[in-house]
Chains A and B, each alone.
Chain A
Amino acid sequence: EDQVTQSPEALRLQEGESSSLNCSYTVSGLRGLFWYRQDPGKGPEFLFTLYSAGEEKEKERLKATLTKKESFLHITAPKPEDSATYLCAVRRDNYGQNFVFGPGTRLSVLP
């Protein structure tokens, strides 16, 4: 069964304390791994797409990496405004119109 898990479920960091979020997947025929940021009361906002193992993408304090079984979202020197829930999703080979979403990691960055 195709599955996406994320860890930890919640993470509290002090401002400036770097860390990583994990997204593990068991999906046949991966056709893309997507990271989203979701603020309370809002819809998810697109961050990155990764297509192949070894690929990396960066945006400000965020860096996403991909292996054959998992993806990491590295947060360097986070600020309070980085507090949000981070979702990952995978696009499956045989279901071009369907994605599988993970449950998310709720990140809190304390000043």
Chain B
Amino acid sequence: NAGVTQTPKFQVLKTGQSMTLQCAQDMNHNSMYWYRQDPGMGLRLIYYSASEGTTDKGEVPNGYNVSRLNKREFSLRLESAAPSQTSVYFCASREDGYTFGSGTRLTVV
């Protein structure tokens, strides 16, 4: 099925560990996004990529880095995880409305 694929689905990290969340879309969309979702706060934009080769900060970029590897793939890296980064992370791509992946539930202990 066409859509956005995220891996992994679940992850537990210790404070200070690093990890990369992977995202790929097969809809030939130019724009890709990383959001985090926390209870009562709505989805907040971390980083986005308007097109291959470009990335820009969103509302809450601190502690994260991204790479737009090609048109299909957009990864999110946590260099030194902190408990405040415990959240559910969603990748999305967009033409008009968003198409979201199924999410990565990350716990930092």
Contact = CB atoms under 8 A, between A and B. Distances in A.
A98 interface: yes
Contacts of A42: 102-103
Contacts, number: 49
- Among A36, A49, A101: residue with most chain B CB under 10 A: A101
Given A34-B97, A44-B98, A46-B97, A101 B103 contact: no
Per DSSP, chain B at the interface is strand
B100 A4 contact: no
A14 to B, nearest CB: 26
Interface residues of A, number: 22
A4 B50 CA distance: 24
B44 to A, nearest CB: 8
A13 B99 CA distance: 28
B41 interface: yes
B56 A97 contact: yes
- Among A34, A43, A49, A100: residue with most chain B CB under 10 A: A43
A104 interface: yes
Contacts of B90: 43-44
B99 A46 contact: yes
Interface string A73-111: 000000000000001010000000111111110000000
**Chain B: interface size category:** 20 to 34
A45 interface: yes
Contacts of A49: 96-97
B31 interface: yes
A103 B48 CA distance: 20
B43 interface: yes
B101 A43 contact: yes
B10 to A, nearest CB: 10
A4 B59 CA distance: 15
B53 interface: no
Given A49-B97, A101-B44, 5 more contacts: A32-B96, A42-B103, A43-B100, A43-B103, A44-B43
Per CB-CB distance, the 5 closest pairs between chain A and chain B, nearest first, are A43-B100, A101-B42, A101-B43, A46-B97, A103-B42
